[in-house]
Amino acid sequence: MLHIAIIGSGPAGYYSAEAAQKKWGDDVRIDIFDRLPVPYGLIRTGVAPDHQSIKGVSRRFEKTSLGNNARFVGNVTVGEDITITELAGLYDAIVLATGAPHDRPLDLPGSDLGNIFGSAELVGWYNGHPQFTALAPDLTGRHAVIIGMGNVALDVARILSKTEAEFAGSDIVGHALDRLRESRIETITVLGRRGPHQIAMTPKELGELASLERAEPHVDPADFPPEEADADLDPGVRKSVGLLRSFATRAEAERGTKPVRIEFDMFASPVALHGDGRVREVEVAETRLVDGRPEPTGKLYRLPADLVVSCIGYRTAPIPEVPYDERQGRFANDEGRIRPGLYCVGWARRGPTGTIGTNRPDGFDVVDRIAADIGSGSDKEGRAGFDRMAEERGLDIVTFRDWKRIEEAEEAAAREGSPREKFVDIEAMIRAGR
């Protein structure tokens, strides 16, 4: 029998479990740990609440958990409740699928002022991550600035612009909806330090900005290179650039017809934040591209900013005893292998890039590496040993059956038209599971 511990129950964790089930069938036992009492990681607390079809992948993960060779073990923090060395004594292989839950720091003068948030915090807040329940962003100012031009920046811009009616069918949590209802934001400036050809936003997501009820995207036509240059782009980027061009021409025709303006400010790199305890302005350096990199032109200007959200990427959280690559912000690994017996997948392996589906091949890959290193296992105790240790330590483990009760209670508490109202604190989750 082969015993595998997967740490993290997001897409990277579940796709790895699925791959291990496919490879070893009844000859494997997989424990999928999570520090939260609820499964699915980024699917639950990262994917935008108005993107329910993407969240539907959790139904596939549920099948994995219901198989008799894999189980969910919630409310256990590896590195605190149990060490990597202890796990290595019990399981043949440990797979770290812990994602990248920390914001890359903005690290600019003034970035400690009030009402400045990283996207992990703000997205966690509107998605009901217990860690960010108390965030309370003030949305009553007129100007918001979002830093970064990736899909997370798009998610944040869209969520800040939607009307209450547009959240129908989403599972945005009540505390976020209440604040958004009070929002007085009129301008959302999305700052990109490079130009339209370097945009990291994908076409489907960018296209959603065109049909918002009360917000319209604006792009300065002067930011584009000649249209012929688009021909050399990858097809996906070309599509995104085409959409940006359509926003630029549409903006001319429809200027001011909707009350919220989503302003793309390209070739614009933030250099400082100013305020009086809380942020009031973002100081921006105009850039030009030199060998693809943004270089300041020397021109500086200031944008009004009552709220700032930095969407510039994420870092994996270090775990004691696991080598960490500080520069890359993820575990130090060679194509998923940290050392024989210890592996990483998903964002913890490759950094915060790619979609949910990118994790599927990652899962198969790590399972092949385990097979090459470990073969068919040893005489380690696996879950029986863990259960004994958990009992000795009084760990309050949440099982998949408990999770189904939590899920039922969340569904029962849903607003009309919403799939669920999430519990936003750990104690309430655990109580509902009992």
Q: Which residues bind ligand NAP (CB under 6 A)?
A: 147-153, 155, 192-194, 198, 200, 202, 205, 269, 311-313, 352-355
Sheet holding 143-147, edge to edge: 116-118, 307-310, 143-147, 187-191, 260-265, 215-219
Q: How far is the CB of 74 from ligand NAP (least distance, A)?
A: 24
Estimate to the nearest angstrom the gap between the alpha carbon of 113 and the chain centroid.
24
Q: How far is the CB of 112 from ligand NAP (least distance, A)?
A: 16
Which residues are CB-contacts of 204 (< 8 A; sequence separation ≥ 6)? none
Q: How far is the CB of 27 from ligand NAP (least distance, A)?
A: 35
Q: How far is the CB of 52 from ligand NAP (least distance, A)?
A: 12
Q: Which is nearer to ligand NAP, 74 or 148 (CB)?
A: 148
Tokens representing 304 are 């009004």
State which residue has the least CB distance to ligand NAP: 150
Q: Which is nearer to ligand NAP, 266 or 367 (CB)?
A: 266
Q: Which is nearer to ligand NAP, 295 or 425 (CB)?
A: 295
CA separation for the pair 263, 157 (Å, rounded): 10
Q: How far is the CB of 412 from ligand NAP (least distance, A)?
A: 29
Q: How far is the CB of 381 from ligand NAP (least distance, A)?
A: 38
Q: How far is the CB of 358 from ligand NAP (least distance, A)?
A: 8
Contacts 24+ apart (CB under 8 A), 164-167: 165/213, 166/50, 166/212, 166/213, 167/49, 167/50
Q: Which is nearer to ligand NAP, 20 or 106 (CB)?
A: 106
Tokens representing 169 are 């069918």
Q: Which is nearer to ligand NAP, 46 or 433 (CB)?
A: 46
Q: What are phi and psi of 7, to 5 degrees?
A: -105, 110
Look-up of token digits 């050392």: 339
Q: Which is nearer to ligand NAP, 44 or 193 (CB)?
A: 193
Q: How many CB atoms lie within 10 A of CB 323?
A: 11
Q: Which is nearer to ligand NAP, 151 or 399 (CB)?
A: 151
Q: How far is the CB of 137 from ligand NAP (least distance, A)?
A: 18
Q: How far is the CB of 144 from ligand NAP (least distance, A)?
A: 16
Q: Which is nearer to ligand NAP, 194 or 330 (CB)?
A: 194
Q: Which is nearer to ligand NAP, 87 or 159 (CB)?
A: 159
The residue among 138, 139, 114, 142 whose CA lies nearest residue 277 is 114
CB 160 within 8 A of CB 139: yes
